[in-house]
């Protein structure tokens, strides 16, 4: 729940609405079950505090963001606070994120190979947010 709390705090500090928090929470649940994952393909991530390891390309952190795709350095992306801020920055660049479905907004940010998977986490994301807000 600590990573979820940080995701909410970053949104609150940015003055973002609950909808943005839901999109981020659904993304974190799908990508890592809200765990801050290192990756052997990014050796520097293994030396940083983590909650396990993933193995999808060079994806790291709660949102499984990729250093090779310009999300940030390993040290930055292994910080939940930085990763959440980077996620929200890209979400806000999606011109119609507020009118898209929550899952479609998440997909517009993440560009996942499994675009419909985010929607599967909406109910759980709502429960997590309700517990934190």
Non-local (6+) Cβ contacts of 40 within 8 A are 46, 53, 55
Per-residue model confidence (pLDDT) at position 47: 98
What SS3 class is residue 10?
Answer: helix
Judged against a pLDDT cut of 90, whether residue 128 lies above it is answered with: yes
Question: pLDDT at position 113, please?
Answer: 87
Mean pLDDT, rounded, of the chain: 97
- C-alpha 33, offset from chain centre: 10
Are 124 and 29 in contact by the 8 Å Cβ rule? The answer is yes
Residue 27: pLDDT over 90: yes
Largest CA distance in the chain: 40
Contact by Cβ (8 Å): 42, 67:
yes
What is the structure's pLDDT at 26? Answer: 98
pLDDT digits (tens, 9 = 90+) for 33-50: 999 999 999 999 999 999
Q: Can you give the pTM of this predicted structure?
A: 0.96
Q: Is 42 helix (H, G, I), strand (E, B) or coil?
A: strand
What is the model's pLDDT at position 14? 98
pLDDT in tens, 60-113: 999 999 999 999 999 999 999 999 999 999 999 999 999 999 999 999 999 998
């Amino acid at each position: 729940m600590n990573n979820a709390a940080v995701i909410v705090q970053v949104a609150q500090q940015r003055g973002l609405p609950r909808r943005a928090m839901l999109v981020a929470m659904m993304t974190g649940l799908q990508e890592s079950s809200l765990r801050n994952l290192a990756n052997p393909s990014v050796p520097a991530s293994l030396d940083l505090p983590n909650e396990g390891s993933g193995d999808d390309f060079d994806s790291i952190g709660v949102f499984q963001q990729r250093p090779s795709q310009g999300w940030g350095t390993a040290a930055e992306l292994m910080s939940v606070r930085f990763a959440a801020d980077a996620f929200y920055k890209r979400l806000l660049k999606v011109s119609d994120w507020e009118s898209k479905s929550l899952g479609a907004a998440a997909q517009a940010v993440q560009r996942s190979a499994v675009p419909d998977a985010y929607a599967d986490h909406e109910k759980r994301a709502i429960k997590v947010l309700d517990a934190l807000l």
